[in-house]
Structure 1
Amino acid sequence: MSAEGDGVDWDDAYANAAHIPRAETYPPRWAAAAAAFRAKAGGQIDVPYGPHPRQRLDLFQPQGLARGVVMFVHGGYWMRFDKSVWSHLAAGPLAHGWAVAMPSYRLVPEVAIADITRDITAALQHIAQMHPDGPIHLTGHSAGGHLAARMLCDDVPLSPEVASRIARVVPISPVSDLRPLRKTQMNERFRLDEAAARAESPALRTPRPGVPVTVWVGGAERPVFLDQARWLAAAWPGAALKIEEGSHHFDVIAGLEQPDSALTGTVAGA
């Protein structure tokens, strides 16, 4: 489908799985690795941060006193998945002494993307109460990268105490400008008009100052995701851009499983 006569097939442009070999094998492998990790690591599972069944989070603790807490927000175009698929990605930050929190959230079309932003705001507030000491690092992948970035935007109503603890943000393959998504068939679920798309676009918002930001993206991702990463890095003063050569949209997060990966080092501040 092309939109507005521009000749671009926007559905294909934002279709990741169609351009990744054996893409269908990734979700079951992620889920299996996550379940095995939880069986070994334990943690606080399904902690409610709101009344909806999806307003739940998991919190994994490192050995010894935690340096602070990393919040990882999952992706899925705000339409699919939950926290249970990604638990194994806590392994890298945990090895560096960080607690790791992973929230689920309500999905479109039950709610709007702005409501999901409010869910993650509530989850972050709750995580800060559960872990009242130390800095907070924010990361997330794809739609989760969007949501992690949104938490640094100055229009998000975090308490001053929580906002002051945010010490690092690493959006991974984020959607930073939602306006192009209005040209896709996915917008039948998103229901974004121009005003809503602008309001929820981190690249069009003002970040809170003084927080280091690294926008991380795979070099083998779809061109639009490289664009989205570049737009955010260019829009936010001082933000760095890291292009991980050879990584596509589904394996760009794999480094979070490894304590010695560059991605884990960036998220943990190691």
Structure 2
Amino acid sequence: MLVWGVAGFLIGIGISLIREQLNSTFSNIQRIEEELRVPLFGVVPFLKLDATSSTAERHYIENNRSPFAEAINHIRTGILYSDVDDPPQVVLVTSSVQGEGKTTVSSNLALAFAQLGSTLLIDADLRRPRIKRVTGANSPYGLVDYVAGEVKLKDCVNRDANVPGLYVINGGTPPPNPLELLSSERLRRIMQNLRSKFQYIIVDTAPVLPASDAIVLGQLVDSLIMVVQAERTTGNMAKDAMKRMAGGNVVPTGIVLA
């Protein structure tokens, strides 16, 4: 009986070790900071929304005393204090792959920054734009149309009727080659011009691994936030994304666990 008991104990340990090796997703703060070597700016609580709830992308403003809103405020503080002498004005939000919560984070960050001053939220995820759907911005034009020179800035900037100080630029007409548009000299000049018109600019863009958009836009911003999803984003996925960005001389300012 003792032999079988010891054998069972050892088998149990073996199974636990195998499970630990197979489950390489991020689930705790210490592991994120140790493996990615980037500061963790905040942990966004899971939102369980019912039919009467607001969308996750507007939760901050409609539930501004919730733990979720406090987490967004904490992330905002982390961004601003990442460089005390020259606080970031333009912030890019991305992730390793689709579905990790980057648009939820970028939308709510824009709502939070709008409490401090005029804030522009730009949908630069031209492959799967979602900002228009979650904000209700109704202009038929967007970033693509503006960069192409087909409309003026006033034609594509939407003022949020419910949030003073928040402005939104949609993705606009889907381009045949998003990377070419985002790499253009005209976009660089546009981003420089927007700095003089808004106190803060939050840019939502495509994930790092499927596309190079975030690496290109990373050259135009002051701060880059990478969102990783608890129990979904693997260490290898996040590390591969970090390597891709490093190859383009782009380093995340902070990580958000969603």
TM-score, structure 1 length as denominator? 0.34
Quick one: higher RCO (CA 8 Å, sep 6+), 1 or 2? 2
Larger radius of gyration: 2
TM-score, structure 2 length as denominator? 0.35
